Structure 1
Amino acid sequence: MSQTETLILDGNAVADGIKAQLFARIAGLAEKGITPCLATILVGDDPSSATYVRMKGNACRKLGMTSIRVDLPADTTTEELVAAIRELNADKSVHGILLQHPVPHGIDERAAFEAIAIEKDVDGVTMLGFAQNAFGFADYPSCTPAAVMAILDYYQLPVQGRHAVVIGRSPILGKPVSAMLLNADATVTTCHSRTTDLPAIVKLADIVVAAVGKPNFVQGDWIKPGAVVLDAGYNPGNVGDVDYEACLANAAAITPVPAGVGPVTIATLLKHTVDAAEKFGTYRKE
């Protein structure tokens, strides 16, 4: 397939569709005195993490949601972070909790994730949330994997019976998206940067999900002609995990970076927060 025929999977269009459906739901909650509220926790002063948190806060405000930002110093201990999360768990006006990761060295990130109450785990980071996703009934699956599935659905790209190759095995991206594709009746091969003869395995894929965290890792000659390529990576300089220009030549459809999976991830986070507000909402405290 030539480059001019390749379908560019516009994440902004998918995200706008998700957010358009949220306006009426948020208005309905407002009539009951409920404002969906997402609490974000940022530990340390990493500029990229700060930018992500700010983007999520701005996205909330544009939809008429509330965003609470909790900033903690880089020398915060695991115990102090867990205590802050438990305070948010107890606050009935907070419907979703997002811990921006990675956290500074010295903090037990898994212990912090596990402190998030399952009903507020809108980013799907807890072990229980992971297990529910694997079984196919998570209320709030991990947002980036859910975004990948939303793009496939929006563009009506077939998954059933297709061979999907996922490059990456993190507990909040590679593993959960593998489970979601499997639950959608794809045949899934989960690979990683140490997989033997990785290019040959990727070349068998009808659907490629790149989630390895290495810039321009997936090369153009790895892609089978007609494959769908979803780049879930984001590296400094607005660079994904896929060599975009090289992969265009063979891909039938491909996500760009930026404006691919990223905007849909944020929209999914907002949707999960609204879902939680509808399920567990209460009147906001003045």
Structure 2
Amino acid sequence: MNIITDPTELQRQCLTWRKQGHSIGLVPTMGYLHHGHTSLIGRARPECDRLVVSVFVNPTQFGENEDLSSYPRDFESDRAKAEAQGVDLLFAPEPGAMYEANHATWVEVPRLAIHLCGATRPVHFRGVCTVVTKLFMLTQAEVAVFGEKDWQQLAVLRRMVRDLNIPIRLIGHPIVREEDGLALSSRNAYLTKEERAAAPNIRKGLLKLAEKAKAGERDCAALKRFLAEEFAATLPMGEVDYIEIVDPDEISPITTIARSGLAAVAVRMGKARLIDNILIEG
């Protein structure tokens, strides 16, 4: 496995692969790889001839007072896991290599970034779109895989790719969970023992909401009240950031579930901010 830290060198290598007729796949990550990440890599591996995984804690998607400096990092573990998954190239740049001191260009999809995580993290998706566009340009990838835990992120990127006619296919991969239902996340490392024991109630609450919808409750306000009450009872140490039901593609709140709705939540537990979602079919 080749390890590259310089963007120009990455681009040169990927252009060479393209000239040789090889297809390229990409899995962007912020490192601290866990089974969720390796499942994305496994999904991407058969889709391409050469697979690139990026490990980059992107500073532009963090707002003030967020966890940029404390975000968990373990490059040696990341390297070993990527190599074991058959990754061809690991891209691990420093922030200064990706953003010049006078960087002034941004990519945004504001309409899809207003709600959910975008409401409390206003610069987040601008940073995500910008760095992912740079990775698409550098790697010339034909396919990229993203996890559906970050459903809003995937919807934003799909719209960006469509609107800018970027020649790449995006694959969404289902949420990977612990045995007790907690969605895998690098930020789970922040949880105390007590918080970790309670955190699976996020998933349990979403499943109960889905059951209530399946039983016939289609009013989103009633469903959100129900889930808020569930969280108040089962997550007393948690602080709800949002409970929302949105159109899965437009990421805009809906009042009634007709065809489908995405129930999405964010809950702060101590130092961790945990997100999860469930798709409710009409």
Same fold (TM over 0.5): no
* TM-score normalised per structure 1: 0.31
* Bigger strand share: 2
* TM-score normalised per structure 2: 0.31
